[in-house]
Structure 1
Amino acid sequence: MRRLIGRLLTAVLATPALLTTGTPAHAAAPASPAVTFTNPIAEKRADPHIFKHTDGYYYFTATVPEYDRIVLRRATTLQGLSTAPETTIWTKHAGGVMGAHIWAPEIHFIDGKWYVYFAAGSTSDVWAIRMYVLESGAANPLTGTWTEKGQIATPVSSFSLDATTFVVSGVRYLAWAQRNPAEDNNTSLFIARMANPWTISGTPVEISQPTLSWETVGYKVNEGPAVVQHGGRVFLTYSASATDANYCLGMLTASASADLLNAASWAKSQQPVFRTNAATSQYGPGHNSFTVSEDGTSDVLVYHDRNYKDITGDPLNDPNRRTRLQKIYWNADGTPNFGIPVADGVSPVRFSSYNYPDRYIRHWDFRAKIEPNVTHLADSQFRVVSGLAGTGTVSLESTNYPGYYLHQKNYEVWVEKDDGTAAFKSDASFYRRAGLADTASGVSFESYSSPGRYIRHYNYLLYAQPADTTTAKADATFFAE
């Protein structure tokens, strides 16, 4: 009823609390609260892999630009990996196999031991890339001794790399990229069961090859598989095209109850799920892995990219791919939403409504509102940064329009570009308060330029208005997710 009244009496929007009575519905604190990072996590570290272990540590490895060794660091927090000391746990051979192009290490803990999967060439042929495995029984893999378990043998001996392992319904699988001599491309994706952590079992199955236009720019590539599971489905992301600004992520989807060794069980997304974004200055995002937040409630995308587009020479000789992190959100249909590679610095969050928990603050034609099912994720993500007006305030910067902020004008809230004026900075600054309707988990934003007025929704649009009734307090309370 109050929504209908609001439509009929828009002239009194300056004091909507007069129209709202009663106790609104409200949500509990979100199951997956906000998690933020300051990117990049690591400079000159490509193909990143992060494993969260039961000992309370995250273990991080990645390709180094010299392609000559395997490094490892650990920390109790994801952000802590950015400053954690790094240890070289293995160095390439002086001659022969495993003597060149040490690429894409991954670390896993399987049946009480540590395993590192990696790719390597030979000093006699640096492009004779094959997959290899190291093993350590130490509690701390940074200080333990590593044993070479040898090459992962495949029925066809050809260019192969990017091994990853995962378990679905109690069965351990290996997925990897390999050159299929019967195809006119660089690499396709394969999967097989594992007999032990360094041996595949049975005949591998090809589940994807590069055929779409965005998979074949520069090189025809499907590589770098990584798996995340959610809601009874298996999502396998992979990287496509050359390792420059065209590099991007595709995705295959299968039911967790399906026969994963049947190629027909996998459906390919027809468009990239994560790609270059010039507005945020992020180019060629790819070769990802997945981990989870410290509290275990959020899935986290781990990937590399560059912060510039133009590369001189072979991109493989450019050392400046950086490791980055950002939270994954899940669409209403249960599919992952990676959004866009966000700008360097603090990563963004979403704000869900306290009394309309399926609705998020978002912008549409630059007007701020709350809406459900925002699949264009970046429209509903904001970076909470130091307030443009200073004095202990915060400002909410748009993710897909860097330099644009939530800004109140005539008490309406819009997303607008900072014009550099003191008036704009004042109107785009807010005091972050404990939630007016939920002081424990919620958040409210009081206007700096109009004290006593809060960002609140009314008829699903956002305004800067007083919050002096129970309903108004609920309308002015949000959860960071």
Structure 2
Amino acid sequence: MSESKFKNPIFPDGADPWMLKHKDSNYYLTVTRGDRIQLWRSRSMTGLAKAAPVTVWTPEPNGPYSYNLWAPELHYIEDRWYMYYTANDGGGDDTRRVCVLQLEGEDPLKDKWIFKGVVNTAYAGLDGTVLSHKGELYFFYSGYGYFPEYGSAIYAAKMENPWTLTGQNVLISAPTEAWEKQGGMAINEGPVFLRRNGKIFLVFSASATWSDDYCLGMTSISENADLLDSAAWEKHPGPVFGKNVEQGVYAPGHNSFTVSPDGSEDWIIYHAYSYSEMDMNRSEGSKRSTRMQRFGWQVDGTPDFGDAISTNQWIPSPSGK
């Protein structure tokens, strides 16, 4: 990895990557680790690959939320740091919930994190994220309440504070199409947001994580609409980012977004496999790797994520230092 160019992956073992550029000009990254939560920090995006991880949270042994810590997200809300992550008691999906940590202090790598509790969602689920909009906080998550098929859908509710929901959990996006049902499960998960051109774009992961066809879908709404009006969301008719067989990229998904150091470029950070699910090199223990690439915008104001790029290809580094 050079200063002017780099190659993916930035982490060979890093599922569900969440990268955040903070007002202190540092980049923070966290990925699924299963039994703990770790953070990386660097002044540059590519520098995260060389940064030393800091374990900021280890759950109590054998607790109700001490197993399968997935998809942590770091958020800065109302001048406080919060961490949202999925966990369960080691049992089935019905025990899986989104938990919240709050930082006592200002340094996420050095100060103490405290357990605030479990978000009071209407359904068991995972992949919680927070959107601040017009003075209100909204919580979006992937819940297991969608029927008749087994799987998950995206729900949303207002928040009365960063760890408590109030009011109804509204269904925003359900896996109703074939491209959302690959791998034997009907899945919408990993919601994340982009704002641009008077719209809010909700990007989510679709199909089973082990399927080559795990991909990103998208639904959008006017920034002036009611975010809890399910009919106001307009779903894109197919995947907006998917496998690229020619480039050897499979199952790209569960992403986050950030900007280059100088703020001039938009970047997508995601995980993917380098082998097909049918390839003997992709064993049961194969790791999803963290990757990133620049994306642009269509003339109609919607994001253009392009094609997933091979790990053999040199990529210009993010603009600015």
For the criterion TM > 0.5, the same-fold answer is yes
CA contact (8 A) 1:224 1:238 kept: yes
**Gap change, CA 1:121 and 1:145, over 3 Å in 2:** same
Which residue in 2 is equivalent to 1:306? 273
Q: Any unmatched runs of 5+ in structure 2?
A: none
**Gap change, CA 1:134 and 1:335, over 3 Å in 2:** same
Question: What do the CA deviations read for 1:155-202 (whole angstroms, capped 9, x no partner)?
Answer: 34x3x0000112223322111100116432310001111111111121
Which residue in 1 is equivalent to 2:136? 171
Which residue in 2 is equivalent to 1:203? 168
3-state DSSP class of the match of 2:31?
Answer: strand
Letter in 2 for 1:76: R
Which residue in 2 is equivalent to 1:280? 247
Q: Shift of the alpha carbon at 1:264?
A: 0.9
Question: What do the CA deviations read for 1:220-265 (whole angstroms, capped 9, x no partner)?
Answer: 1000000010111011110111113121000001111111100011
3-state DSSP class of the match of 2:277?
Answer: coil
**Gap change, CA 1:251 and 1:197, over 3 Å in 2:** same
TM-score (norm 2): 0.91
Which residue in 2 is equivalent to 1:60? 29
How does 1:36-47 map onto structure 2 within 5 Å? 37-47=6-16
Which residue in 1 is equivalent to 2:263? 296
CA contact (8 A) 2:32 2:70 kept: yes
* Higher-helix-fraction structure: 1
3-state DSSP class of the match of 2:151?
Answer: coil
Q: Equivalent of 1:113, from 80, 102, 105? A: 80
Question: What do the CA deviations read for 1:439-468 (whole angstroms, capped 9, x no partner)?
Answer: xxxxxxxxxxxxxxxxxxxxxxxxxxxxxx
Question: What do the CA deviations read for 1:131-153 (whole angstroms, capped 9, x no partner)?
Answer: 10011032211111010011001
Q: Equivalent of 2:194, from 220, 228, 231? A: 228
Q: Shift of the alpha carbon at 1:348?
A: 4.7
Letter in 2 for 1:50: M
Question: What do the CA deviations read for 1:82-132 (whole angstroms, capped 9, x no partner)?
Answer: 111101111133113112111000001112221110000104557621110
CA contact (8 A) 1:280 1:343 kept: yes
Q: Shift of the alpha carbon at 1:299?
A: 1.5
CA contact (8 A) 1:112 1:137 kept: no
Structure of higher CA gyration radius: 1
How does 1:226-265 map onto structure 2 within 5 Å? 226-244=192-210, 245-265=212-232
Instruction: Considering Cα pairs closer than 8 Å and 6+ residues apart, tell me whether 1 or 2 has the greater RCO.
Output: 2
3-state DSSP class of the match of 1:264?
Answer: helix
Query: Do structure 1's residue 93 and structure 2's residue 63 form an aligned pair?
Result: no
3-state DSSP class of the match of 1:80?
Answer: helix
Which residue in 1 is equivalent to 2:20? 51
TM-score (norm 1): 0.62
Query: Do structure 1's residue 84 and structure 2's residue 51 form an aligned pair?
Result: yes
How does 1:14-53 map onto structure 2 within 5 Å? 37-53=6-22
Tell me the number of residue pairs that the alignment of Structure 1 and Structure 2 aligns: 311
The percent identity for this pair of structures is: 39
Q: Any unmatched runs of 5+ in structure 1?
A: 1-34, 350-382, 384-481
Q: Equivalent of 1:217, from 161, 171, 182? A: 182
Q: State the alpha-carbon separation in 2 of the partners of residues 104 and 341 from structure 1.
A: 21
Q: State the alpha-carbon separation in 2 of the partners of residues 296 and 115 from structure 1.
A: 24
3-state DSSP class of the match of 1:146?
Answer: strand
Which residue in 1 is equivalent to 2:154? 189
CA contact (8 A) 1:185 1:210 kept: no
Which residue in 2 is equivalent to 1:266? 233
**What CA RMSD, in Å, does the superposition of the two structures yield over aligned residues?**
2.1
How does 1:250-399 map onto structure 2 within 5 Å? 250-310=217-277, 318-348=285-315
CA contact (8 A) 2:146 2:152 kept: no
**Gap change, CA 1:317 and 1:225, over 3 Å in 2:** farther
**Gap change, CA 1:288 and 1:174, over 3 Å in 2:** same
Letter in 2 for 1:329: G
Question: What do the CA deviations read for 1:278-316 (whole angstroms, capped 9, x no partner)?
Answer: 111111000011111101122211110011113689x99
Which residue in 2 is equivalent to 1:406? none
3-state DSSP class of the match of 2:52?
Answer: coil
CA contact (8 A) 2:188 2:205 kept: yes
3-state DSSP class of the match of 1:328?
Answer: strand
Q: State the alpha-carbon separation in 2 of the partners of residues 312 and 127 from structure 1.
A: 32
3-state DSSP class of the match of 1:88?
Answer: strand
